[in-house]
């Protein structure tokens, strides 16, 4: 079966991943693979399965040509499928009108999912579990990484000191007692050497064995700190690099690189989303000269209005947030309230 390409209008095979004429992604294939509703009936069933409130409450009217203000909807008129939004003043904005039912359904489906997440966030705010902003999310993730790195690096530092001590005293010494000794020496050096600066016999003996010369508690502390800093850097740097998102612009295409994977950004004019792509599909110029094509969205006003950050995208919500891995994340809790008054009813969509 052939369908029309959403971008150039050419007729292509329904199973084709990309249009052979313009190279655009065939979203019909992606919708099928993701089990996205493709008909009005399937969208109605998806709505019911999520236990969502009545249409009059959510203001999403599936299969209904609703005429009153403040409504999103889809209905069929002959061979035409119309996706619409009725604004607060009663004016109707047509989102899509055409013969592609799957495309029309997907438009309302994405909007409905977005609104469900917005309503859940509003409920969390009312329960004083305020949804973190983008910058707060980044700061929280950074703090978690640093905290984990600090504790792990501290553990590595202590084990390293214990091994040094064991090597100095011979392998007859128990690893358990070596670790115990290392912890005790660290605490002692922090308290005694830090506050009093005096020499401690136990520390002195330790350094006689390990360093081979007279030393103070501060020398032990310095040894630990050096190992600690090295361990921290070796741990935190890879973690930060793994979660960090780098953006590259090549001609009119934006790519994101994070988590050892590449993503291509598709701008639909009213927002965009990412699609995971193989490294082989990334232009060789970008791979060979990354710094020449890398850009910071905050410093590039040309992209500010239409560009969506990776962590704010639908792809990220569906694949990398703990509560969005399946349709169950859109299930509605009967104890929550849906307030359509928080929806922007003045925009076209």
Is residue 143 located within the same domain as residue 236?
Answer: yes
Spatial distance between the Cα atoms of 37 and 60, rounded to a whole number of angstroms: 15
H helical segments located in the chain: 27-33, 40-49, 55-58, 101-126, 134-169, 175-188, 194-195, 201-210, 217-243, 284-288, 290-293, 301-304, 314-319
Q: Give the CA dihedral 277, 278, 284, 289, nearest 10 degrees.
A: 70
* Residue where a domain terminates, one of 126, 151, 179: 126
Q: For the chain, give the mean pLDDT.
A: 75
Is residue 207 located within the same domain as residue 187?
Answer: yes
14 located within any domain: no
132 located within any domain: no
Percentage of the chain modeled with pLDDT above 70 = 56
Is residue 143 located within the same domain as residue 238?
Answer: yes
Residue 298's domain spans which residues?
246-326
Percentage of the chain modeled with pLDDT above 90 = 31
* Residue where a domain terminates, one of 126, 161, 196: 126
Is pLDDT above 50 for 121? yes
pLDDT per position as a tens digit, 186-207:
555 444 444 433 344 544 454 4
Q: What pLDDT is attached to residue 159?
A: 65
Label residue 317 by pLDDT band (50, 70, 90). Answer: confident
pLDDT per position as a tens digit, 15-39:
677 788 877 777 665 555 456 899 9
Is pLDDT above 80 for 225? no
Q: What pLDDT is attached to residue 70?
A: 97
154 located within any domain: yes
Spatial distance between the Cα atoms of 31 and 102, rounded to a whole number of angstroms: 8
């Amino acid at each position: 079966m052939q369908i029309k390409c959403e971008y150039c209008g050419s007729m292509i095979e329904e199973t084709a991943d990309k249009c052979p004429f313009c190279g655009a992604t065939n979203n019909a294939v992606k919708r099928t693979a993701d089990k996205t509703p493709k008909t009005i009936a399937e969208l109605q069933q998806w709505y019911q399965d999520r236990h969502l409130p009545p249409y009059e409450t959510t203001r999403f009217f599936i299969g209904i040509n609703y005429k009153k203000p403040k409504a999103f909807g889809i209905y069929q008129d002959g061979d035409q499928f119309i996706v619409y939004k009725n604004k607060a003043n009663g004016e109707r904005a047509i989102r899509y009108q055409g013969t592609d039912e799957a495309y029309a359904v997907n438009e309302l489906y994405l909007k409905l999912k977005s609104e469900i997440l917005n309503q859940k966030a509003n409920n969390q705010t009312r329960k004083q579990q305020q949804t973190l902003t983008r910058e707060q999310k980044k700061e929280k993730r950074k703090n978690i990484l640093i905290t984990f790195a600090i504790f792990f690096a501290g553990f590595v530092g202590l084990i390293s000191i214990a091994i040094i001590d064991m090597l100095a005293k011979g392998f007859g010494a128990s690893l358990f007692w070596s670790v115990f000794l290392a912890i005790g020496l660290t605490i002692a050096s922090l308290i005694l050497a830090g506050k009093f600066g005096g020499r401690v016999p136990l520390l002195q003996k330790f350094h006689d064995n390990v360093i081979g010369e007279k030393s103070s508690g501060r020398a032990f502390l310095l040894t630990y700190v050096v190992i600690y800093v090295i361990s921290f850097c070796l741990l935190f740097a890879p973690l930060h690099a793994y979660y960090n998102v780098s953006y590259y612009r090549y001609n009119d295409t934006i790519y994101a690189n994070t988590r050892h994977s590449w993503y291509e950004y598709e701008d639909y004019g009213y927002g965009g989303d990412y699609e995971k792509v193989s490294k082989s599909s990334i232009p060789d110029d970008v791979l060979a000269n990354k710094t020449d094509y890398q850009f910071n969205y905050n410093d590039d006003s040309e992209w500010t209005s239409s560009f969506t950050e990776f962590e704010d995208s639908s792809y990220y919500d569906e694949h990398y947030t703990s509560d969005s891995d399946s349709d169950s994340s859109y299930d509605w809790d009967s104890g929550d309230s849906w307030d359509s008054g928080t929806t922007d009813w003045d925009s076209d969509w």
